[in-house]
Each structure stands twice: as C-alpha cells, then as structure tokens.
Structure 1
Amino acid sequence: MPRVPPARAGLVREVSPRRPFGAVHGGTKARESTAAEFRPGPPRSLPRSSIERQRRPDMPRFKGYSCLVAAALTAIALPAAAQEILRVPYITDIGSFDPDNAFEVGALSAINNVYEGLVEYAPGTTDIVGLLAEDFSVSDDGLTYTFDIVDGATFHDGTPVNAQAVLTALDRRGSDKMMLNYFLWNVTSITAPDDDTVVITMGMPQPSFLDTLASPWGPKIISAKAIADHGDDPDWFIEHAVGTGPFKLTTFDRGSEYVLTKFDDYYGEKPFFDTIELPVVPDIGQQILQLRAGDIDAIPVGYPYAQLAALPPGLDIYSAPAMALVQAFVKPGSVLEDPEIRKAVLTAIAPDTWIGDAFADYATPALSLYQAAMLTPEQPVAFPADMDAAKAIIEAHGGLSLTLGYGAGNTDNVGQAADLMAANLAAIGVDVQILTLPAGAVYGLKDDLDSAPDLLITRSSPDAAHPDTQASVFYTTGAVLNLLGASLPEADDIVGQAFSVADKAEAAKLYEQAGHLWFDAGMYIPLADIEEVVVHAAGLTDIGTRPVFPPGNIDFGTVRWAE
C-alpha cells in the first residue's frame, strides 16, 4: 500500500498545529461498528431523556469560581427573546481563516459556517449528507465519485457556484503549496462533464473518501473569483474569506474579535442569528464572569468540570458525543514490557476508579483504542481489578518506579487524571513521578526516548469518523502521532488490510483486532471517552455540535433561542 508523504501536524490536546498525515497511508474513512453502523443519538444530558440538561430544583447554587468570581455572584442577565446577536468567546486566537492552508481547532465553527464543502456530517452524528452537492454516488469499483451540484447557490461575492468553480477550488486544495493537500492524495483526476456535475476519480479504492470530504478540515469550495484575484497573495486568505456558507466574515481583528454576518442570499435554510460576535477571551474565569453578566451567551469549551453540578439559575449545560479519547502511550523498553508488572499497573490505573473525579458525569471508561462515537467494539478492553494481587506483584519485584507525563498544553483535566492515576499507583507501592512536558515537546519524544516518561497521557481526536484516522495516525509503525515510536508489524498488516474493505462491519472487526493486539502488547492504553460540554444561557438550543469536530464548535447555522 502506498504511503502518503507527511503533510501536517495534528490534534492531541497538547497540540497547537494539526498533524502531518503520513502513517501507512492517507485519507479518512467512514465510521464503522462491528455489526451495523453506530449512530449516536441526540446529545446526552441529565436527565438522559432530555437534550438540554437543566439545573434541578434541588441543585445548590454555584458557590463561586474563586475569590475573583465570588464578587460577581449577582443576578444573571437573561437574553432577550428576539436576540439576533450571538456572542461566543474563543479561548485561543485564530491563526488563519484559510481552509486549505491552516490547522485551526477552536475556530472551525466559524470557518465551517463561512465555507462549505461538497458534503458534511449531519449535526450530532457521523452521518454524511450532501451540502454543496445535493446528491452523490460511488461506482461499484469504488474508483469514481459523482457529485450533483446544488442549484441556486452563490458565493459571498455574488458569483455562482457551478462545477467549474468546484474544480478551481479543489485544484487550489491539491496544490503543493497547501498544507492540507493530503486530503486529495488518492485523487487522479477531477472533471466537470457539465455545469452541474463534478466527477472525482481515485487511484485506488478508498472507502473513506466521503469522510475525507466531510471532515471539518476537508476541502472547502472557495470563490473562483477570489482565487483569481488574490491567488498570488498567500496572506490574503488568512484574514479574508469568500465562501458559500450562511455567514460572511466581516471583521477579522486579530487578538480581539471576529464577526460573522448573515449572508442574505444563502441558498439553504436561513440562520436564526443575524450576527455572530467572537471575542477572544483567553481566561476561563473572565468567560464565566461575562456569561453570568449576560455579556456572552455560551462558554463552548473549558468550563471547570467541578463546577458543572452547581450552575446558577439562568445557565444550562449541553452535552453530546465527541471524539476525544484520553489514552496512554507506553514507552518501548520500559519495565511495563514485563506482562506481570503491566498487569499490576493496569489494575491501579483502571479508569472506572478515577474518571468521575476528573470529568464528573461527562466521560466514560474507554472501550477500545478507538473513540466510542467511531467504533463500538465486540469485545471491550478489560482492566484487572484485584488491587491486593497488584500490590503483591509490586512487592515481589522489590518495588517499582514509574514516570507519568503529559503536555503543558493539555486541557480539560488530563493533568488531574494523571494525578489520580498516580495516587492509585502509589496505593500498590509504585513510586510515581509526574512530568509536565513543555508545549510541543511530546512530538520529539520518540527520537529521545531517554527523556520520555514511561506513560505519556494524551487526549487525541481524529480527522474524521473512521477507525483508520485513529489507527494509521496514532498507532501504526511510523505513524505521525505514534508519539513514542511503538511498532507491531502484525497489527500494521491488519490495518493495511482494513483500509480498502468497503463493508463497514467487516472493516470495523479488523480495526478492533489490531487494537487488541496493541493493547495486549502493552503499547497503548485507552482510558476515557470525553463528551462535548457547552455551558450556555438558558433557552439557547439546536447547538448542533458534531462528534468529529474538536469540542466547543457550535454550529452557528442551527443554533437559536427557543421560542
């Protein structure tokens, strides 16, 4: 199977840029389960039958974020019923609005509401539906994809969306100058037999291709006029945008605020809000103060888990499936290669003993090396549970010293998870040292294993909803985000076989089989599946997050105030 040259850096929760793709091959595949396609239901909440999680009448009021927040415990300013401006803060600044040449994470909600692709994931699911392509089909041999372009769509500059415009945009994406050109690595030709039809031909069958197109980082259709007018200026698209989405980019004020304005000529369903204001507020404490004062309408990511059970009146919680997996990479050559010692360590770090303390009700023990919204395993991984036996093993070996590490850029309590696991390990007699690694340092560890921790705790998210995006990026030999350089050729072979299997259930069985081989060999340890959590003003509904998007990316085209 051909390899795709590395092209990017990716999301592991420590990351700033996204990753080069380049493991065994490129591409992203449609999510699969073992017997039938897993389709997550509506966003989960408390009570579980409700989409929006409401504060119970007996729930205590919030007692204070800190002394800074305590002074702000005043009445919540509730949004007006006819509010037409949505205010959502970004905790990190936007680097670039160029959908072909940047690895944005927190700003994907803005980019994907200004630009559109041929297909997308439907809100709340991993189902692929048409977008600028109102219909699409795949040939029996898996080599030809045909897209029927939607009628009546125009770009924000007034030019029409037709097949030639799509070709121009895809040609830009495939250019050697674009960071994200690897999404089209297997494409051999793109043609337009008429104004309404685009045909894409593949070099080899790639059942994942529609997921590649639906990915939040997948190819977007940029105005051909804008490309012609500004194609020689690589910086223009960083701060300007001409797409087809329900919103236009009208303000790009780096480090301060970004503003989206409703596109009146949008061909699809019109959004509820006229304006989306996106101020940069890097301090979560300040975001909490502003939400309580009514200055913003939601905190999309990062609200402290410990405070979610006691929100003040006027605030609600939206939670939904997400593809955020907390896992441990095991250093090759460490003492954990001893099966008996590894069994004792697995006993102590079993996720069900600490997951509630780290993530409240918004995480579940991982079932496999693949995110739960990606693959439902026939045989979930199992952790031993006899702590007395684990303690005896450590004593028999004369004690044990381990290092646990995580990146300084990690968020959402991954560091606390490491602390809780360390406490459990200490209970069986393991001497644990915790290392907080400098931002970005995790990417150089496989070339300097002497400085690597025995267990590297990370939070990972894939490009798309297919197991291959997890396996071939994080686990296979030489994979770009195989952070400690582990290698198991027999598992690689199974992943290579699964890549071209069109039957979703059969492919899922192969990916699960490879996952068990890696887990049983002590190379990777799945720990927790983390949910999407958005804290918002009461009455905000249809938030529209998608599992494949990094947490916090609200769909501005669907969100609205309840009537």
Structure 2
Amino acid sequence: MVSISSGCIEEAKEKERTEVVILGTTDKIVSLDPAKAYDYLSVNVINNVFEGLVGYEVGSSNIVPLLAESWEVKDNGMTYLFKLRKGVKFHDGSEFNAEVMEKSIKRAMELKGDPSFLLDVIDEVKAVDEYTLEIKLKYPFSPFLSVLAFSVASAVSPSYGEEFTDEAIGTGPYKLEKWTRDVELVLVRNEEYWGEKARTKRFVIRFYQDSSQLRLAIERGEIDIAYRELKPLDIIDLKEKKGDLIVLEGDSPVIRYLVFNVKKEPFNDPSIRKAISLAINRKEIAEKIFFGTVKPLYSMVPEGMWSHSEVFPERDLKRSSEILRSLGYSEEKPLEITLWYTPTHYGPTEADVAQMIKQQLEETGLIKVNLESVEWATYTDYMRKGTMGFFLLGWYPDYLDPDDYLWPFLQSDASPSLGSFYSNERMDELLLEARKAESREEREKIYKEVQELLAQEVPYIPLWQGRQYVVLRRGVRGVVLEPTQIFRYYIVEKGAVG
C-alpha cells in the first residue's frame, strides 16, 4: 500500500491551480477569423492565438519582429521586403513560409471582411522565395508596419479556404482548445511555439451576462481577472477596499462617439446633424454616469495623440434650437428620431448613456427621441446594412496613428464599414495627402484641416475618451495595460498568495 502525504496532495493542487488563469468578461466574441474579426474581444483573442509579420513591443507602441525576422523598405517607401522566420509551425503542424503568408494576406483582402479596408493600401504581395515576402504599396504610407501589426494581417493555416472560419489555427503562443459561444473559451499553451512559451498552461475566458455577475465572480474567487466591463461605481468601490483584489488603471486611446448614417433621412442634412451635436453635454455624461472615470472628447483623434484638435464646441442649446427652428421644427412639430444602442457590449452603463442623450436632446423642446436596442451581433449586422440612422459606437485602435482615427471613419470606401456611409471628395483628397506626406509636421497640418472639416460636416459626434481598468486577485502577475489595448494572456501567470 502506497502512502501519499497531505503535503504532496496540497502541492499538486497548488500546481494545478496556478496552471490555469480565468478571466471573466461581459464582452462577446463575434469571430475568430482574422479576416473577419473587427470587435475588441475577437481581435484580442486572435492576438494571442495568431501572429503577423510584426507586432508591438510589450508595453509600448514600438514595432518589433514576429514572423518576419527583418525587413527592408525600398523605392521611396513603396516596397517592403520581409525576411521570414524559419522553423515556425501552425497549430495543425503545417509549415509557415512566404507562400502561406502571401495567401493569408490575399485571403484577408479578397474576403472583404470588416477590417479588410486596412489593407487597401497594398498593391501587390508575393513570395519571392520560400522565406522572402515582398509587399508593394499603391503609395508611400508611413504607418504601414503598424497596419501589419493588426490582426487582419495574421498568418493563417494553409488549410483555410475562401470562406470565413472559426477554427482559429495560427502560430501563436496559445492554441484554441474549446469554445462554447457566450459561455467559455479555453486556450492551451502551444508547446511547439517558436518563441517564449506562454507562462500559464491554460487561459480560460468566461462570459457573464452583466457586470453584477462579473463582480460577484471576482469577489467569490471564481475568476482571477475581471476585465470589461464593471460598473464605474464598482471600480471606485473596489479601489477603496483592502483585501485580495487589486484594481489596475491606465490611459486608453479608446473613444466613444455617435454615428449618423448620412444616407438616411433626416440625417442626410448636415444642419440637423450639427443641431443634434450642439445639444450634447459631454461633461454631464462623464460626471453623472461615469463618475469621472472618463473624460469628454471634442475630436475623433484622442487627447494626447499628435494632431489632436478640439474642433467640436461645448453644448450650446440656444444655437441648436435656432438651427432646428430655421429648418421648420417646433414644439408642435418636433424632429422625431431614433437612437440605437447595444445593451451589453459596452458594459452596464450603455442604457444610461442612451437615456441621458435622449434627455439632453429633448431639452431643446424641438426633438423627440425614441430608443431602440439590440445585442451586438445584430447591431453590427444592422450597422453594415445601413439599418440604423443614429447610434452609439466605440473605437479601439487598429494602430496608434491619427490615420486610424480618421481614415476608417471619413474615407469614402472605408466609412460604410462603420455605418456612416459618409463621402466627401475634399475629405478623401486630404486623407490621401496625409498618408503620402513625408514628414509628421506636414501630416499634422493636414489632419488639423481634416478635423475642421469633420466638425463642419458632423458625420460623427465624439463623446468621451475612456480609461482602462482591470481587477485582479492577489497573486496574478504579468497584466500590462498597453497603449495598444492588447491584452497579452501569454505573459500572465498566477503564483501563491503571500
């Protein structure tokens, strides 16, 4: 008979406990195909399972090699030549090489998923030899390497075909083991990863219906990390408490805004869009709903980023009413509009935000607002189809450059993916000039003009800029709140609590 000491049993249990990290969220995954995914959580999971040619250095916006070991920029910024890493395998055992990378990028471009417009600058991509890839651009574009760091440019298994798939077969530090939609996703360490192995054997994401359930789960110890979204008051409360929970806080380039579908009446009239914009009180939203955990925003370019210019005015209810009356609206004949929002994707405050915007607009006495809501999957479908005329949305950066806060929103071919369908020939000219400009000073001057035109045309209304918050159980290490908003699961680990 073999005797096993209680100490050995406890040691085994502790080892098992520390080999799994569980993150709880109220967010949802839409797709795990890099060619299709264009929402925060989908992209974030992809960043831990897939890789592209380049990525971001941990904790910074500096570009570093991933599947490319090195690169050379030629022809005055028109050609990029990448030397690829050898000996890399996909999770299904297939080999990574230049032919596969060529196919992956072309697939993303041809499938025309939501993020495909980011690759529109590419003119040609081809494998020069087994481990050399050449990408030719349509014009010089200084943030191009940052674009390649976004998930749409990830290498996918050669088994991927001409349709979208959620198989999630990449080369990254984690492999997809199981995914039960809206219930649980399990990642397991890729033991054959070419680089530094993931620090935790399994990383689990559990999905919660609301922030109350999420807070209860972190307080009970059912999860190790709570991320997106707890209520602002929960964050404040947990920061003040002492115990086993730690609240991390960091700057964020995340912005929230209102979208007008400019092809849909009555929002096809710039004067109506301007009147609505003038009735919005950003400070009231930031203080009464978010208790100062966000800050008002007066441009689509976030504060702290070069070229940021506060072009949208503060609330002016008198001017808003004057515009509406000049258009024939009155107390007896108000402007009747519908404001759409999605109730859970952006956290528990979204309904409150929609209600406050309704209240602010109706304070003109000349606007009547109906509220409508649908869940995220339907919301994004409505957005692409142009169903909604006026709705709330948020933006997490694809790459840290003003171009990423302006081109996708305002360029004629890109704006339909965000539901505004905005098109302006002069705006397109300015955006292209900025991309081609050689110096940052020249680009900044152009972007100032772009933002001024944005404020005149008002296809969007910037509302606020967020901050990042994550709640950890004591003993969890390696969580970095990045300027890129990437959450790197593979550097997170859990040790004994001392």
TM range (shorter): 0.7 to 0.9
* C-alpha contact (below 8 Å) 1:319/1:534 kept by paired residues: yes
* C-alpha contact (below 8 Å) 1:394/1:428 kept by paired residues: no
Partner of 1:289: 216
1:131-184 CA distances to partner (integer Å, 9 max, x unpaired)? 122322322511111223235544445555444443454454455597766554
Deviation (angstroms), 1:85: 1.0
Counterparts of 1:93 and 1:384 in 2: how far apart (Å)? 34
Matched, 1:325 2:255: yes
Partner of 1:250: 177
Equivalent residue for 1:407, pick from 341, 353, 370: 341
SS of the counterpart of 1:480?
A: helix
AA of the residue aligned to 2:195: G
Equivalent residue for 2:395, pick from 437, 451, 460: 460
User: Structure 1's 430 and 282: CA in aligned 2 closer, same or farther, altered over 3 A?
Assistant: same
Matched, 1:274 2:208: no
Counterparts of 1:506 and 1:499 in 2: how far apart (Å)? 10
Alignment of 1:92-131 (within 5 A): 94=29, 96-103=31-38, 105-131=40-66
Partner of 2:6: none
* C-alpha contact (below 8 Å) 2:312/2:455 kept by paired residues: no
AA of the residue aligned to 2:42: A
Counterparts of 1:342 and 1:390 in 2: how far apart (Å)? 8
Counterparts of 1:181 and 1:555 in 2: how far apart (Å)? 24
Partner of 1:27: none
* C-alpha contact (below 8 Å) 1:133/1:149 kept by paired residues: yes
Partner of 1:12: none
Equivalent residue for 2:18, pick from 62, 65, 83: 83
1:183-239 CA distances to partner (integer Å, 9 max, x unpaired)? 544444444455543222224333342222111x3222234xxx2xx456968x523
Partner of 1:472: 407
Equivalent residue for 1:356, pick from 287, 297, 300: 287
Partner of 2:245: 315
Counterparts of 2:176 and 2:386 in 1: how far apart (Å)? 43
* C-alpha contact (below 8 Å) 1:261/1:276 kept by paired residues: yes
Equivalent residue for 1:558, pick from 485, 491, 498: 491
AA of the residue aligned to 1:138: V
User: Structure 1's 133 and 434: CA in aligned 2 closer, same or farther, altered over 3 A?
Assistant: same
Partner of 2:101: 166
Partner of 2:167: 239
SS of the counterpart of 2:18?
A: coil
User: Structure 1's 336 and 562: CA in aligned 2 closer, same or farther, altered over 3 A?
Assistant: farther
Alignment of 1:423-502 (within 5 A): 423-425=359-361, 429=365, 432-438=368-374, 440=378, 452=389, 456-477=391-412, 479-481=415-417, 483-502=419-438
AA of the residue aligned to 1:150: R
User: Structure 1's 288 and 268: CA in aligned 2 closer, same or farther, altered over 3 A?
Assistant: same
328-337 or 515-524, which moves further after superposition? 328-337
Partner of 1:220: 154
Specify every segment of 5 or more residues in structure 2 that has no aligned partner in the other structure, as ranges: 1-13
SS of the counterpart of 1:238?
A: coil
Equivalent residue for 2:468, pick from 509, 514, 532: 532
1:95-144 CA distances to partner (integer Å, 9 max, x unpaired)? 54333355564233332212111111334443322212232232251111
Deviation (angstroms), 1:435: 1.9
102-111 or 295-304, which moves further after superposition? 102-111
Counterparts of 2:386 and 2:76 in 1: how far apart (Å)? 45
Alignment of 1:44-83 (within 5 A): 83=18
255-264 or 331-340, which moves further after superposition? 331-340
Counterparts of 1:542 and 1:342 in 2: how far apart (Å)? 45
96-105 or 206-215, which moves further after superposition? 96-105
User: Structure 1's 487 and 294: CA in aligned 2 closer, same or farther, altered over 3 A?
Assistant: same
Counterparts of 1:214 and 1:350 in 2: how far apart (Å)? 36
AA of the residue aligned to 1:324: V
Partner of 2:78: 143
AA of the residue aligned to 1:555: R
* C-alpha contact (below 8 Å) 1:186/1:204 kept by paired residues: yes
Counterparts of 1:234 and 1:244 in 2: how far apart (Å)? 20
AA of the residue aligned to 1:349: I
Counterparts of 1:265 and 1:198 in 2: how far apart (Å)? 24
Matched, 1:202 2:132: no
Deviation (angstroms), 1:547: 4.4
User: Structure 1's 136 and 232: CA in aligned 2 closer, same or farther, altered over 3 A?
Assistant: closer
User: Structure 1's 361 and 540: CA in aligned 2 closer, same or farther, altered over 3 A?
Assistant: farther
AA of the residue aligned to 1:315: L
TM-score, length of structure 2 as denominator length: 0.78
AA of the residue aligned to 1:249: L
Partner of 1:265: 192
AA of the residue aligned to 1:528: W
User: Structure 1's 361 and 560: CA in aligned 2 closer, same or farther, altered over 3 A?
Assistant: farther
Aligned residues: 469
SS of the counterpart of 2:76?
A: coil
Counterparts of 1:164 and 1:420 in 2: how far apart (Å)? 53
Counterparts of 1:384 and 1:352 in 2: how far apart (Å)? 9
Deviation (angstroms), 1:368: 1.2
SS of the counterpart of 1:370?
A: coil
Matched, 1:133 2:68: yes
In proportion to residue count, which structure has more helix?
2
* C-alpha contact (below 8 Å) 2:306/2:402 kept by paired residues: no
SS of the counterpart of 1:260?
A: strand
Counterparts of 2:28 and 2:96 in 1: how far apart (Å)? 31
130-139 or 474-483, which moves further after superposition? 474-483
Counterparts of 1:516 and 1:426 in 2: how far apart (Å)? 27
Counterparts of 1:384 and 1:433 in 2: how far apart (Å)? 21
Counterparts of 2:84 and 2:386 in 1: how far apart (Å)? 50
User: Structure 1's 264 and 306: CA in aligned 2 closer, same or farther, altered over 3 A?
Assistant: same
SS of the counterpart of 1:473?
A: helix
> Please, what is the CA RMSD of the aligned residues?
4.1
Partner of 1:44: none
Q: Identify the structure with bigger relative contact order (alpha carbons < 8 Å, sequence gap 6+).
A: 1
Counterparts of 1:266 and 1:448 in 2: how far apart (Å)? 42
